[in-house]
Amino acid sequence: MLAPHFSMVEVVRSATAANQGIDNQVPLPLRYYVGRMAEFMECVRMVLGEDPISVTSWFRCQMLNSAIGGSRTSAHMKGLAVDFVHSVLSLEEVFSLISKSLLPFDQLIIEGTRGKAEWLHVGLSEGEPRGDILTADRDRIDGPMAYKRVIAG
């Protein structure tokens, strides 16, 4: 286990990578960042309570990030971002709890399609965290995200 509630399997799991034969293993130099993120996610879990968090996306190699249309500067490519859902709380509740916490995140984003939240993104930075809180929405599942800043750190 990477951390008490998070494993390396969750870090690298990707249906897109499996379907397209992409090797999404974390390179040795980036494992430190993955470990940092795992520790941070344990803190997120403490803020949210003992109910499980389901990781939907964590590490993305460059090829996987391109395949899914991710940002060229995505923190996922360094293992410093996690997309997730909560097993009990709504995404809006989780978004509110994390945004009001003292956790040192770089970005917190509630993301979805046509105004319906589908997952949360939380990321760290290599340097000082910005504390940016954003929403992201798109008109169609394969469409581009439009980001809106809620609070600038």
Domains and CATH numbers, the chain: 8-151 (3.30.1380.10)
Q: How far apart are CA 25 and CA 61, in angstroms?
A: 7
pTM of the model: 0.93
Q: Is 41 helix (H, G, I), strand (E, B) or coil?
A: helix
pLDDT, tens digit, for every residue of 111-125?
998 889 999 999 999
C-alpha R_g of the chain = 15
Q: What are phi and psi of 65, to 5 degrees?
A: -60, -40
**124 touches 105 (CB < 8 A):** yes
59-110 pLDDT, tens digit per residue, is 999 999 999 999 999 999 999 999 999 999 999 999 999 999 999 999 999 9
DSSP designation for 123:
E
